[in-house]
Structure 1
Amino acid sequence: MKKISILIPTFNEEKNVKPLSEELVNMFKTDLSDYDYEIIYIDNCSEDLTRSVIRNLCEDNCRIKAIFNAKNFGQFNSPYYGLQQITGDCVVLMCADFQDPVEMVPRFVEEWENGYKIVVGQKTKSKENKVMYFFRSCYYNLIKKFSNVEQIEHFTGFGLYDKSFIQVLSDLKDPTPFLRGIVAELGYKQKVIPYEQQKRRAGKTSNNLYKLYDAAMLSFTSYTKIGLRLATFVGVICGVISFIVAIIYLILKIVYWDRFVAGMAPILIGMFILGSVQLIFIGLIGEYILSMNARIMNRPLVIEEERLNFETFDIEKENQHEF
């Protein structure tokens, strides 16, 4: 019997983890009854009662497992690490807030059985804030245009991954992983299934402007060269313009020596423009250096504080629970 793993990263999802578990268990009873399963929660140091709820779920069902991180290691490291801890023949990565529809899982499995090693969900519609959806679309279009890797537009990581691809992730040993880019760059032939993203069922998202910017910069510095090349292009263009303006001013001063008074304004304007351009690109280059620095330090993805239900259990214990 094939085994399907479900990986769910959590952070302050106390109102969502129990109903999500119930829906997933019911789905395996009805739609995927021919498969064994495990549900793994990897908690990024929640500050509410999420861990208590997960503990209770693990006590009631030995197929529900948990990894508790020692601290919050970020929205990318924790899921990436969790993917490497699964024991199934494939794994479905999904959010805990119900924005990723549970009913998509059987469709993923069906395409997996058809031979696809990677089956991902692509948001074609969303019930989230329309302004945010618009800005996300602009971001994906920008990355898609400048990246040398064909990115999957509106792909959040929600999808099914065969264990052979999980081995690729394990061998990669990337301390700053960006799964969405890795799937596009190193993944097998993919099946993309469109879906409408639902509203969060309960709680508030932990994504803020800083986290969204961090995600954008990680993708930008990992999969585009345009930032560094743009600095060179803009520098050359500004240099050429400055040279032309200097020649024009010199000619005007020679021709109209007594009447042409340049003053300090052109010099100040030029200084401010060039200074602003330099600061922008120094910051952009700094983003690349930060990305390189994180990879050079090669720190672990996460540090575990505790695991639940990962130990081997015998058949008698398994039969004591209803699934």
Structure 2
Amino acid sequence: MADTLYLVVPCYNEEQVLPETSKRLTQKLQTMIDSGTVHAQSRILLVNDGSRDRTWEMICELHAQNPLISGLKLSRNKGHQNALLAGLMTAMPLCDMAISLDADLQDDVDVIDGFVAEYYNGCDVVYGVRNKRDTDTVFKRTTAVGFYKFMKALGVDIVENHADYRLMSKRALQGLSEFTEVNLFLRGIVPLIGYKSAVVKYDRHERFAGESKYPLKKMLAFAFDGITSFSVKPIRIITTLGFVIFAISMLALVYALIVWLMGKTVAGWTTLVGSIWMIGGIQLLCLGVIGEYIGKIYGEVKRRPRYIIEDFLQ
């Protein structure tokens, strides 16, 4: 007998794209139900992440018109990762597998069949990996590639060119529920679950409508969250840098004493000022990095809820 599939779609101010998204996902899911690939109880779960437009009203309308569409409303905006987790945890007791994807139709819905095929082959996690980044700007492509390489250099187990387009079995979702950190970076957490996994390649499309919800500022914040949530190497780099600067300063002190004893002291205003500014800048940078980690600890120890569900249209 076919297993139940839930398509989990976080939505934030997606009124422009939601009609087309629901149409395409409904067509795909209905085709899979008719062919017997998935169970008739399979659903599309649209998660409203505190949208300020008519997104929730449209979800309610779609739910009333379409039996395949369910809706989940968070009490306020909690960010993409928390909204995605809320949808996955809500779907977990209702499904055998769940696929998370964005609402903007950049993720190719036609490869959903490939995800499910790998699931039936025994995989608990199936990652959607981009073939290429032709749709990205040069800046975004360069920074994205650099980010993945940097994360790997820090020892983080992350799938390159994979965002949040993935399938997870019920067993994998139960494993995910064991991770209770407040600072969520699902791309780094999911590989830690283990279990058998596979990769499905796809071509990412242009956004169907509306504007990206990840401008440069959010992208940089997301990247830094990922780095500080999964590696303490930046702290170790600061420690190493401290030792290096200390060693250089000792050598400089020895040199200064020798020059003074030889009576050849020369005024070095430029060097002095430059050194002060350089060391001051390094100190501020180091304090900033340490502060980020302290902020992470502050958020974790308070144990505030990652999301609060206001309404669920099942």
| TM-score, with length taken from structure 1 | 0.91
How far apart in 2 are the matches of 1:63 and 1:27?
11
Matches within 5 A, 1:63-78: 63-78=68-83
**Deviation at 1:58?**
0.4
1:62 maps to which of 64, 67, 82: 67
How far apart in 1 are the matches of 2:116 and 2:47?
22
User: Is 2:241 the partner of 1:227?
Assistant: no
Gaps of 5+ in 1: 311-323
Aligned residue pairs, count? 306
Corresponding residue of 2:56: 51
User: Is 2:108 the partner of 1:101?
Assistant: yes
Corresponding residue of 1:213: 220
How far apart in 2 are the matches of 1:71 and 1:6?
22
User: Is 2:148 the partner of 1:161?
Assistant: no
Corresponding residue of 2:306: 301
User: Would you say the 8 A contact 2:26–2:68 is kept in 1?
Assistant: no
Corresponding residue of 2:26: 25
Corresponding residue of 2:46: 41
1:252 maps to which of 236, 239, 259: 259
How far apart in 2 are the matches of 1:150 and 1:115?
22
How far apart in 2 are the matches of 1:20 and 1:260?
74
How far apart in 2 are the matches of 1:204 and 1:305?
26
Corresponding residue of 1:281: 286
**Deviation at 1:263?**
4.4
**Deviation at 1:122?**
0.9
Q: Deviations over 1:179-210 (max 9, x none)?
A: 11011222322101122211101000111222
Gaps of 5+ in 2: none
Matches within 5 A, 1:102-141: 102-126=109-133, 127-141=135-149
How far apart in 2 are the matches of 1:75 and 1:279?
31
- Report the more deviating stretch, 2-11 or 183-192: 183-192
Q: Deviations over 1:280-310 (max 9, x none)?
A: 01100111111111111111111222222x2
How far apart in 2 are the matches of 1:128 and 1:287?
29
User: Would you say the 8 A contact 1:128–1:197 is kept in 2?
Assistant: no
How far apart in 2 are the matches of 1:45 and 1:28?
26
User: Would you say the 8 A contact 2:183–2:229 is kept in 1?
Assistant: no
**Deviation at 1:142?**
0.5
Structure 1 runs (4+) deviating above 6 angstroms are none
User: Would you say the 8 A contact 1:43–1:69 is kept in 2?
Assistant: yes
User: Would you say the 8 A contact 1:77–1:176 is kept in 2?
Assistant: no
Same amino acid, percent of matched pairs: 28
| TM-score, with length taken from structure 2 | 0.93
